[in-house]
Amino acid sequence: MLSPLAAYVDSLRVQNRGRVPDFDPHDGGVDARLLLLLEKPGPRPAGADAGYVSRDNPTPTAASIRAGMAAAGVPREGTLLWNAVPWWNGTMRVCAAEKRAGAVELQGLLGLLPRLRSVVLAGSVAQAVASPVLAGCNLKVFRCVHPSPNARAGPASSEAWRKLPDIWRDAWEAATSA
């Protein structure tokens, strides 16, 4: 029998919208209290950990997540990483139809996370997709720039990027209080 998250991924794959990575088995799974919602999977990098959405992948974004979560004191087993648009379809562009489909699928994911208390929306795509879905939920929602090298460029973006560990710490504290 498949775990709930593996079954969820399989349900996405049968839609044939593109490659869907797996959840990282080293993260919190269905027991996660904090969801870090990124934008969209990218092409699978050489050496990527078996196609997972993972802070262990050999990419600058994954390294930023790994370092930022450590600096924030957020335990890995309490978190789950995912993408607002869960399919890689060969392009980083995100069209309106993908955003709508991502919002529908996010609702299904939320139903699989009974301990979830906080969600961090990392980047403008995650914010656009998830904000309407989360509006009716009893979850603490935090917004931040995407933890990618692109978000680090420029003085205003650089400052927002430096605040990531603080935002993630606040989200974790909200996820574990009361």
Q: What is the DSSP string of 18-55?
A: SB-PEEPTTS-GGG-SEEEEES---PPPTT-STTEE-T
The pLDDT of 169-177, averaged and rounded, is 97
Q: What is the pLDDT of residues 102-136, one digit of tens each?
A: 999 999 999 999 999 999 999 999 999 999 999 98
Confidence of residue 43 (pLDDT cuts 50, 70, 90): confident
Looking at the predicted structure, is the pLDDT value of residue 167 above 70? yes
* Measured torsion, CA atoms of residues 38, 41, 46, 50, in degrees rounded to the nearest 10: 90
pTM here is: 0.94
pLDDT surpasses 80 at 46: no
Task: Kindly tell me if the per-residue pLDDT of 23 is higher than 80.
Answer: yes
DSSP 61: H
Do 118 and 35 form a contact (C-beta atoms < 8 A)? yes
Mean of all residue pLDDT scores within the chain: 92
Check pLDDT > 90 for residue 153: no
| pLDDT score at 50 | 57
- Say whether pLDDT at 157 is over 90: no
pLDDT above 70 for 49: no
Place of tokens 């795509």: 125
Q: Which residues on neighbouring strands pair with residue 122, listed in sequence order?
A: 144
pLDDT band at 73 (very low <50, low <70, confident <90, very high): very high
Residue 148 Cα distances to 64, 98, 122, 143, angstroms = 7, 21, 10, 15
Is residue 155 predicted with pLDDT exceeding 80?
no
